[in-house]
Structure 1
Amino acid sequence: MAEAWWVEVGDGIWVRRHTELDLSLGLIIGERSCLVIDTGGDESQGSAFATAIRELTDLPWTVALTHAHFDHSFGTAAFDAATVWAHPACRHELQSTAEHQRQEWATYYQNKDNQEISEQIRRARIVLPVPAPPDTDLGNRIVRFIHPGPAHTNHDLAIHIPDAHVVFAGDLLEQGAPPAFGDAFPASWPQALNNILAVNPATLVPGHGNPVTPAFARAQQAELAQVAHLCRLFREGTITAEEAIERSPYPAEFTSEALDRG
């Protein structure tokens, strides 16, 4: 069974780390309620996350999804009838891609001889979110929702806790692996990350990997800017794909995806 454990990044602010996919989910606790950030890749993982949360707090919860990819959103049904917030475009993205994602990732795990996860993904019920408000008050704790612009997807949502100087960045940031460009917008991703850094966080939580410092985020922003520049040169015909891959800070597989996205 995949392991999971808590990391506290601020007073009442927790990251649930998972060995599977190096996934990071989140929890923000106020005096009246709590906010759950992403729900995992299937209802079993979501249920285990919900149980772990109830060991920390029994306050009513609301869910916020950073984006529509299966590993962040397919566990939402485990959170009963909770209100689910996301970027306005996230709902349509789930409606239009959930079944494709289900087939793709169920097959992926089946090919890895992990029939249990494959079946859980096939059975996951999809919960559609509603647009997040600009902010919410959890009780003596304001949480702000940031739409940083197209980046990892066209509907990324970051969650800022001003009193603790913490930002949950979703997959706009990756720690332990390069950023994923499959649905990305390479040209605008560097500015989106700048928009998150503009709130001056002390700690940023990536969608995968350990919490990071602003210095780490700035270094990744510089790498993303380099990839965006290579994509532009490739589009213009100034360099070949092979030359772009050679000059990229990321492995060929990731750079090729970025070039395909432009």
Structure 2
Amino acid sequence: MDGRWVEVAEGVLVRRHTELDLNTGLVLGETGCLVIDTRGDGVQGAELAAAVREVTPLPWRVVLTHAHFDHSFGSQAFEPCEIWAHERCGPALAAGAEADRKAWSEYYREQGRPSVAEAIQAARIVPPTHPVSGPVELDLGGRVAHLLPAEFGHTDHDLLVWLPDVEVVFTGDLVEQGAPPAFKGSWPLAWPTAVQQVLELKPAVVVPGHGEPVDRAFVREQLAELSRVAELCAEVGAGRLDRAAALRKSPYPEDFTADALESVRTNPGHA
């Protein structure tokens, strides 16, 4: 089984997966538990569900931080249950599922891993049952999980899971550790504002979508880098800086910055 549990606070566990360095989450209450993200296909989702059941028999609810395949294609393993997500997550999942299937199944075939490619192709996409349009509180019994839309950043439907009793926040891919943030299809001009929302919670522990859990200092550093990328994108968009110069000046590798520049061209609003 791919993954290991790391307890980041009392009753709050992060499942660290080798595959894609992905994080999923488990929040334990007295009467229920909350599973945060479901991995990338039905096989991986079933592995996660089995790992959750090794920890607790409590009834579960699922929260999706966003619609990308590695966070959402495993949801069928948890049915029937409530699946909470930003109100734009469901439409994004429906619109992007086939492109994700094609791109990632090709990737895994090229990596010589046809079984993973086939599992992605076979995954049944489960739409969220509970769309979130504003702050929502989920009572797990003795603990409340706060779902907070972060709007435009890594996607146009990022959702934070905030646990104020232990000062832990799950950010999905708004925060990344171990690799630069993924800008393809993102909203680079608005992303810093979304990360500022994370910092305003004053969390003790921040669980990124990928990589090791981090602290506020790490998030502040990443915010500075994201702000620099946003500035460079705005300068290129205004014609005050050429693309080559922006790539040189970026804190991130050229291919990541190129994705940011392209994303601003296709998603120009929400600066």
For Structure 1 versus Structure 2, the TM-score category normalised by the shorter chain is: over 0.9
Shift of 1:149: 2.3
Q: Which moved more, 1:126-135 or 1:34-43?
A: 126-135
Partner SS, residue 191 of structure 1: helix
User: How big is the alpha-carbon RMSD for the aligned residues of Structure 1 and Structure 2?
Assistant: 0.9
Aligned to 1:31: 30
**Percentage of identical aligned residues:** 50
Aligned to 2:160: 158
- Alignment TM-score, normalising by the size of structure 2: 0.95
Aligned to 1:101: 100
Question: What is the CA–CA distance in structure 1 between the aligned matches of 2:242 and 2:212, rounded to whole Å?
Answer: 35
Matched, 1:168 2:170: yes
Structure 2: runs of 5+ lacking an equivalent? 265-271
Shift of 1:210: 0.6
Whether contact under 8 Å (2:2, 2:47) holds in the other structure is: no
Aligned to 1:118: 117
CA displacement, residues 181-227 of structure 1 (integer Å, 9 cap, x when unaligned)? 11210111001100111111000000000100000001000100000
Shift of 1:148: 1.6
CA displacement, residues 70-104 of structure 1 (integer Å, 9 cap, x when unaligned)? 00000000112111000000000011111111111
Matched, 1:131 2:119: no
Aligned to 1:211: 213
Question: What is the CA–CA distance in structure 2 between the aligned matches of 1:85 and 1:160, rounded to whole Å?
Answer: 14
Question: What is the CA–CA distance in structure 1 between the aligned matches of 2:49 and 2:73, rounded to whole Å?
Answer: 13
Question: What is the CA–CA distance in structure 2 between the aligned matches of 1:135 and 1:3, rounded to whole Å?
Answer: 31
Matched, 1:140 2:142: yes
- Alignment TM-score, normalising by the size of structure 1: 0.98
Shift of 1:47: 0.5
> Number of residues paired by the alignment?
261
Shift of 1:147: 1.0
Q: How does 1:1-262 map to 2 (within 5 A)?
A: 3-129=2-128, 130-132=130-132, 134-262=136-264
Question: What is the CA–CA distance in structure 1 between the aligned matches of 2:193 and 2:151, rounded to whole Å?
Answer: 8
Amino acid at match of 1:75: G
CA displacement, residues 126-171 of structure 1 (integer Å, 9 cap, x when unaligned)? 0000313611110010110111220000000010000010000000
Shift of 1:26: 0.4
Amino acid at match of 2:92: E
Aligned to 2:269: none
Amino acid at match of 2:155: T
The runs of at least 4 aligned residues of structure 1 exceeding 2 Å deviation read none
Amino acid at match of 2:123: A
Question: What is the CA–CA distance in structure 1 between the aligned matches of 2:5 and 2:138, rounded to whole Å?
Answer: 24
Amino acid at match of 1:202: A
Amino acid at match of 1:179: P
Shift of 1:237: 1.0
